[in-house]
Amino acid sequence: MQSVIRIGSRESVLAVKQAQIVKELIEKETPGIRAEIITMKTAGDRILDKSLEKIGGKGLFVKELDRALMEEKIDIAVHSLKDMPMEEREDIPILAYSRREDPRDVLLIRNGDDILPPAPVIGTSSRRRMLQMKQLYPDCIFRSIRGNVQTRLRKLKTEGYDATLLAAAGLKRLDMAREICMYFSVEEMIPAAGQGILAVQGRKGENRGWIKRLDCPESRAAALAERQFIRAVDGGCTSPCAAHARIEGNELKLSGLYYDEKTKQHVTGVLCGDITRAAYVGEKLAQELRQSI
């Protein structure tokens, strides 16, 4: 058995923290195995002055790590599942899904206030967040913002934004929950597919018995339903389409948001099903919502 497992990660503080979570799990579950983290900067991390829509989508966050896996420079890669393209590569599939952290979106308001000013300037580059935030706060104004958590916090304080939207999961993993001024329920703002789940990616066919001990069945079912929904509504990397699954016992409750790019209309819906048919639930809800517009 391999004595050292090389974990590939983006080099941001959050990405390394997330890789550290997987590192600790590996070393806990497999005594005698040591894991080390190898970091690299991706194109998505380097190009911060343009929207993802204009520079190639979420694939820019995984391309370098995919190459490192294929060249056997690393053994596994750790990603935020929400940052991975919906089309999974057969040669380097997702092997495990972590237990889910808080999936909600949150608002960080300048100076730590608990209410937004009139016509607030909101920093976000996410069409999904813009669409849903506009329903909650019709007078808000959006300005693009890119970068890691620390960069966005700095920009919030120095570049004229009133607030910014982030994922609760990342802030909690960084022990920065104190920065959160407001939580949105998953009904108020349906999260990105996979939000709060870490994906462990590796080479197909390699025998890693320990990988199963990293996998959370509830997260796997939720991920299968959410990602299949996005695929079925043809929601690309920059689409405002969204999906979130709750698992209660053997039942999966999937909430979805479908946005029609041609008509500019959107609709939300909910569908329940058995956890063993997670992908089918995602497909079925997608069909229902597409037919409703």
Question: Active-site positions?
Answer: 83
| Residues forming a β-bridge with 183 | 106
Q: Which two tokens stand for residue 98?
A: 């972590």
66-103 CB burial, b ≥16 within 10 A, e <16: bebbeeeebbbbbbbbbbbbbeeeeebebbbbbebbbb
Among candidates 203, 228, 207, 222, which has minimal Cα distance to 101? 222
Q: Which residues contact 138 (CB under 8 A, 6 or more apart)?
A: none
CA–CA distances in Å: residue 152 to residues 64, 77, 124, 146, 166: 23, 25, 9, 7, 9
